[in-house]
Structure 1
Amino acid sequence: MSAKSAILALVVTTLIPGVVYAGKNKDGREAGKVIAGWVEKVTILDIRDEPIKAKLDSGANTSSIHATNVESFKRDGDEWVRFTFVDKDGDTKKMERPIVRGVKIKDLDGGADRRPVIELDMCFDGRVHKTQFNLSDRSGFNYRILLGRRFLGGVAVIDPDETYLTKDHCRDAIEEKEDNDDKDD
């Protein structure tokens, strides 16, 4: 490929929303980063099958999900947490998950808040990702989910002028995950 062709290909892929600008993984799935808007719809498979609006935030390191009634406890010697996810419509989902780590979040006053971090399966742009989320009361924010750099790296490049550039459904990915879960049983 000539240098001129390579530059043209790069320009074209950066101008087309939602385009993946890499090849395929060994398993035939798309690899690389997708161009995404600063707000996208994602599906948290452990919570519900319907997409939820999420803010993409390169200023945040760890992704965050809205949680109320957060309570840590021990299960078989491991640290766990139970919490309630409440969406914008008021629908709730009570959950229990192992704590994978803790994170210290600095506030504007110079203080810090220690939060538990859990893993959830999330569908973003038609692909399922195991993603770490810190549990936070996001009731004062417009978006119940915030996707930070730990998730975005290797997955998406943010176009701050756009919203909803990625696929907002995960039917194929959900069916594939269910098939894989059935094989594990």
Structure 2
Amino acid sequence: MVKTPIEKLVIGRLEMVDLPELGLYNIYAKVDTGAETSVLHCEDYEVFEEKGHRYIRCYINAHPEKEGTEAMEYVFPIHRERIIKSSFGQAETRYIFLTKIKLFDRMYDIKLSVRDRSAMSFPMLLGRNFISRKFLVDVSKKNLARGKS
């Protein structure tokens, strides 16, 4: 029996995504095949334990470029911890939580970590763990999930 390949959707180097479980919409996300983990901009965070479970409290502003927007507080159970090396070779612990992301009017599970991305051009990064087995990347395009290029 010959298996037919699963049709993969094509995304561009930059996509606008929604995180509906967080009430966050129209977030610009840079697609980065060099990054393993997806990350969302976070003003600040703290890790705490309650009743034997570990949580992360985050202060997220998905649109820091818009004047007058404020960070909102979110609490997530920690799914996993990872040591991640930045492109500068600096290691840091990242706390990963699970949520949903919407692209092409479809919902997907995503594992996200948080960090301060205020010095970066985009508040979110989509890494290989999310992209692989679902999408192909055309770096000459952008906003394909919203029907634009």
- Common fold: TM-score over 0.5: yes
Tell me the equivalent position of 1:41.
16
C-alpha RMSD of the superposition? 1.7
1:60–1:108 CA distance, 2 compared to 1 (3 A) = closer
**Partner amino acid for 1:34?**
L
Q: Deviations over 1:74-133 (max 9, x none)?
A: 122011010111122233221000011112121345331111111111111211112101
Matches within 5 A, 1:23-172: 32-48=7-23, 50-86=25-61, 87-88=63-64, 89=66, 90-167=69-146
Pairwise CA distance, 1:47? 2.5
**Partner amino acid for 2:17?**
V
Check the 8 A contact 2:104/2:146 in 1, yes or no. Answer: yes
CA distance in 1, matches of 2:140, 2:89: 31
**Partner amino acid for 2:40?**
I
Task: Point out the structure with the larger strand share.
Answer: 2
Check the 8 A contact 2:43/2:71 in 1, yes or no. Answer: no
TM-score (norm 2): 0.85
Task: Point out the structure with the larger helix share.
Answer: 1
Check the 8 A contact 1:80/1:98 in 2, yes or no. Answer: yes
1:158–1:108 CA distance, 2 compared to 1 (3 A) = closer
1:43–1:108 CA distance, 2 compared to 1 (3 A) = closer
1:49–1:61 CA distance, 2 compared to 1 (3 A) = closer
Check the 8 A contact 1:36/1:163 in 2, yes or no. Answer: yes
1:70–1:49 CA distance, 2 compared to 1 (3 A) = closer
CA distance in 2, matches of 1:132, 1:34: 19
Percent of aligned pairs with the same amino acid: 26
- SS of 2:141's equivalent in the other structure is coil
Instruction: Compare relative contact order (CA 8 Å, sep 6+) and give the higher one, 1 or 2.
Output: 2
